[in-house]
Amino acid sequence: MPTTNERLAQALDELDKTEAEIEAFEERVKALKAKKDQLETGTLIELYNELGVRSVTHDASGRKASRLLVPTGSLNKDPEQRKLAVEWLVANGYEDTINVTLDASWARGDRAKALAAYEHLRRQDNSAKIEMGEGVHWKTLGKIAVDCITSGKEVPLTTLGIDVVSRVRFTKKRSSS
């Protein structure tokens, strides 16, 4: 029968081996994701362009692979650019997509004042500090950009903090076997 120290050494060896396997697996997944990205944004886009097609049915799986515009990113974090982005959204009719938050803080002992409604905050004494933040969910912002691009409208992607990439994706899930 192994001693406690021997069992400990064996368990630590097993943990070390398991961690190494996980690291190797994660590196393999990272490499596969890079390969998938290259196929979706490079190789397949070039082939679709050569053939002049937007979608193809994959013979082997029966799945449809379509060329799509895929947005990435989120509302610009730079305060000046964010302000310009929000102004653009408002000016172009997307004001209803903006989430607005108000953060307020008071000095110690002013808890009762903090419980008052927003309408009263501006009338509070100088211990009240109010900050306003605005944002748009990244999926909503991406859809706005794609819709504008496909309708031929100019979109300030850098100001908005997003990018739109042409990519080929399967639009039909793999069927279970």
Whole-number pLDDT of residue 82: 92
Q: One-letter amino acid identity for 96?
A: D
Whole-number pLDDT of residue 122: 57
Half-sphere exposure of 21 (CA within 13 A, CB side): 6
Whole-number pLDDT of residue 135: 86
Q: What angle do CA 153, 145, 34 make, to 5 degrees?
A: 130
At residue 13, φ and ψ (nearest 5 deg) are -60, -45
* CB-CB contact of 40 with 170 (8 Å): no
Give this prediction's pTM.
Answer: 0.66
Per-residue pLDDT of the chain (177 residues; tens, 9 = 90+): 999 999 999 999 999 999 999 999 999 999 999 999 999 999 999 999 999 999 999 999 899 999 999 999 999 999 899 999 999 999 999 999 998 887 777 677 777 766 665 556 555 555 556 666 778 899 999 999 999 999 999 999 999 999 999 999 888 777 765
* CB-CB contact of 110 with 127 (8 Å): yes
